[in-house]
Homo-oligomer: A and B are copies of this chain.
Amino acid sequence: MGKKVVITGVPGVGKTTVINQTISELASEGVEYQNVNFGSCMFDVASSQGLVTSRDDIRRLEQATQRELQRNAAQFIAKSDGNIIIDTHCTVKTPKGYLAGLPEWVLKELMPDIVVLVETDEDQILMRRMADDTRVRDAEGYRALCEHQQFNRAMAASYAMLTGCTVKVVVNADNLLNNSVAELKTILR
């Protein structure tokens, strides 16, 4: 069995960039990682069961059905061979509050080896969001971002308690992408 590494980070922290560069550099060393987006995996499971035709349909399903899809997606990933990066959120910020990205029924199936929190200074995240006009995001201030990153850490601690995974903070600071990638490669090798 390969490693199952969950990689998380708030929108704008540069998670996708870090993941892609890490996978590419590791591949050139002969270390293969498959990149799985948890939401896409849920959609694939839901479509194969004929439950949805678009990704937006998922949130319109009943809560019990959504949870069963989450469980099924986790089972699918857990059974897959090889090293896998699971790209998801540690907490999802919704109008009704923070939601666990990996609730108990997902964790018990997935049993990840490592949960990575890609973080950086909240002010840097704000600046990156303002500079990125390709995406429309909910406006969020400095303090809200601090709160979100704090909840991510607390949530990750509870994941570690339940599964025995490690929780690793990888800082993705401005102009230092290579450092983040180097640190991530060290724990993924």
Q: Which residue numbers of A lie inside 8 Å of B, CB to CB?
A: 63, 67, 91, 94-100, 102-105, 107, 113-116, 147, 150-151, 153-164, 166-169, 186-187
Whether B98 and A161, one on each chain, are in contact in the complex, defined by CB atoms closer than 8 angstroms, is: no
Residues in B neighbouring A159, C-beta threshold 8 A: 161
Which of B67, B147, B161 is close to A169, meaning CB atoms less than 8 Å apart?
Answer: B147
Nearest neighbor of A93 in chain B, beta-carbon distance: B166
Nearest neighbor of A94 in chain B, beta-carbon distance: B166
Whether B155 and A161, one on each chain, are in contact in the complex, defined by CB atoms closer than 8 angstroms, is: yes
Known contacts A169-B147, A187-B97; decide if A91 and B155 are in contact (CB<8 Å): no
A-B contact pairs, 30 of them (CB 8 A): A63-B164, A67-B164, A96-B113, A96-B166, A96-B187, A97-B115, A97-B167, A98-B160, A98-B167, A99-B164, A100-B157, A100-B160, A100-B161, A102-B161, A103-B160, A103-B161, A103-B162, A103-B163, A103-B164, A104-B164, A107-B161, A151-B157, A153-B154, A154-B154, A154-B156, A155-B157, A155-B158, A157-B158, A158-B162, A161-B162
